[in-house]
Amino acid sequence: MKAIVITEKGGPEVLQARELAQPVPTGNEVLIRVAAAGVNRSDVLSRSSIAYGKLVNDEIPGLEISGTVEALGPEVKRWKIGDQVCALIAGGGYATYKTIDERLCLPIPVGITLLEAAALPETVFTVWDNVFKTSRFKAGENFLIHGGTSGIGVMAIQMILAMGGHVYTTAGTPEKCKFCKDLGATLAVNYKEEDFVSILKPIGIDVILDMTGGENTQKNLEVLKPNGRLAFINAMNGVKSEIDILLLMANRLQITGSMLKPQNNDFKAGLAWEIESLIWPLIGKGEIKPVIYKVFPLEQAADAHRLMESSTHIGKIILEV
């Protein structure tokens, strides 16, 4: 099969095409002929930064795919050859074939193309796990997402609105802020020009999904209402922060964090079951849509990474296989 591998830590040029042996499904695995793979910031960080893990030989990036089931392990119960699915994977998506635990495959939602479906798993699973499960977000609450036009941000805005919440975001340009408001955010703060604390503290936020960390950590605590929850999914501005613990105690705040990729398949299968029951119908009704900024052929994965690193995109970047 064809695959794009990370040959060493470095710039986009370290992504190279390779001809590799096609995987064979065992146990409860299905073999998927990949139609499309989502590009995620995590792929870029795995490629470029030692802090995000050592490379295991020629590692194939890619955390989400869509495609057609082409072969079945002996214990597969749900899927049959020819079924179209999308799947959450822990690497290996930038390739023409991928084997995966059948429980991590989901049907293509009604009204969504096979290519669009590749944009869903990583963002939907991450938002569901952090915002709705861990942070127990409820209808009527105020939600803040930093990086509102990231792949994660665009999905979070839509999932919160579909669940009856109020969305506040930050983003780095006026164009990005406008996009967030057009998507339904009550307010989008251009954090490069305005101080989000002075704007959002009087409003009060119940749940924050944060990928920035650094100096924003204390600021996040300041905009939270009593019993507010702050969930980290990354710390792109710095992994170390100084916080006022008295504020945390006085307002009974909670700080959590999670990484989806290293969790075991049982954990992810639990999320998949909940998401298929509760979020897939909302996608089927058109309340949540994949927002795709650009599609590249698999061979141009390096260009897809260059675009992501430019941070000029809004929504998802996809590789068509």
Ligand X SMILES: NC(=O)c1ccc[n+]([C@@H]2O[C@H](COP(=O)([O-])OP(=O)(O)OC[C@H]3O[C@@H](n4cnc5c(N)ncnc54)[C@H](OP(=O)(O)O)[C@@H]3O)[C@@H](O)[C@H]2O)c1
**CA atoms of 220 and 238, how far apart (whole Å):** 14
Instruction: Measure the CA–CA gap between 67 and 108, rounded to whole angstroms.
Output: 9
Selected binder of ligand X within 61, 62, 151, 290 (CB under 6 A): 151
Does 61 bind ligand X (CB under 6 A)? Our answer is no
Render 23-38 in DSSP notation, one character per residue: P---TTEEEEEEEEEE
Contact mark string toward ligand X, 180..219, x via CB under 6 A: -------------------------------xx-------
- Of 4-12, 19-27, 149-157, 275-283, the segment contacting ligand X by CB under 6 A is 149-157
Closest distance of CB 169 from ligand X, Å: 9
What distances in angstroms separate CA 136 from CA 230, 276, 280, 303, one per listed residue? Answer: 11, 18, 19, 38
> Is 210:231 a contact under the CB 8 Å cutoff?
yes
Q: Site map for ligand X, 79-118, x if CB under 6 A?
A: ----------------------------------------
CB 113 within 8 A of CB 138: no
72's torsion region: left (phi>0), alpha (psi -120 to 50) or beta?
A: beta
Q: Tokens 């079945």 map to which residue?
A: 72
Work out how close the CB of 19 gets to ligand X at its nearest, in angstroms, rounded to a whole number.
Answer: 28
- 234 is a site residue for ligand X (CB under 6 A): yes
Among 23, 53, 107, 172, binds ligand X (CB under 6 A): 172
The size of the interface with ligand X (CB under 6 A), counted in residues, is 24
Question: Which lies closer to ligand X via its Cβ, residue 75 or residue 175?
Answer: 175
User: What distance in Å separates the CA atoms of residue 304 and residue 112, rounded to the nearest whole number?
Assistant: 22
Cα–Cα distances in angstroms (integers) from residue 79 to residues 76, 112, 296, 311, in the given order = 7, 19, 29, 37
CA dist 189 and 170 (Å) reads 5
**Distance of closest approach, residue 150 Cβ to ligand X, in angstroms:** 3
Q: Is 158 in the site for ligand X (CB under 6 A)?
A: no
Which residue from 47, 176, 268, 305 is in contact with ligand X, where contact means CB under 6 A?
176
The correct pick among 29, 41, 117, 241 for binding ligand X (CB under 6 A) is 41
Binding site for ligand X (CB under 6 A): 40-42, 122, 126, 147, 149-152, 171-172, 176, 211-212, 233-234, 236-237, 258-260, 308, 311
